[in-house]
Amino acid sequence: AMPSKPKSTESSMQHNKNHKKVRELLRLYEGGAVFTAFDTETTGLSAHNDRLLEIGAVQFSKDGILATYSQLINPCRTIPYEATRINNITHDMVQDCPTEQVILPDFYTFIGKSILVAHNANFDLKFINTALSRDGHRILENQVEDTVKISRAIFPELEKHNLQFLAQHFSINPGNAHRATD
């Protein structure tokens, strides 16, 4: 067995890899690439057992905001109290909304080939891809970047990297932090 690298070397290598990724994203941005920042709200934490309640997205490039997408989704099931307590989405708000079967093809078209950006991207991606698969659609193949990882790479000294903390740290009004488009 090969000896493991010392922790300092591993973290240094990861640090360099993260900085290289950030420089690459900056190069893409400056080159005019289109990005889509997106978020979801859900009935719970399990992509297989829970459902999407909302998808919000903002498409942008170096020229500014290109388009926005905001859609509440009828989960066709009861919304647990814990979910409503977090995202303030109630049954009355979604009962007349389209289902994920209707919404996801539209969202797929909206994002096109843009680079997807999300905070804790794996969570949102897992919900969207599980729903796409469940409905017989291809999963997303876009490049995906996680802003938690980017934040940790650029600002390792910060004690937290959640959106609310980052917004406060950088004096950004977060809007309603538990609604997808905000």
**pTM of the predicted model, to two decimals?**
0.88
Mean pLDDT of the chain: 91
Q: How confident is the model at residue 157 (pLDDT cuts 50, 70, 90)?
A: very high
Confidence check: pLDDT of 66 > 60: yes
Our answer to whether residue 91 is catalytic in this structure is no
Residues 6+ apart with CB under 8 A from 77: 43, 51
**What is the spatial distance between Cα 81 and Cα 103, in angstroms, rounded to a whole number?**
24
Instruction: Give the pLDDT score at 174.
Output: 76
Report, as an integer, the average pLDDT of 20-36: 95
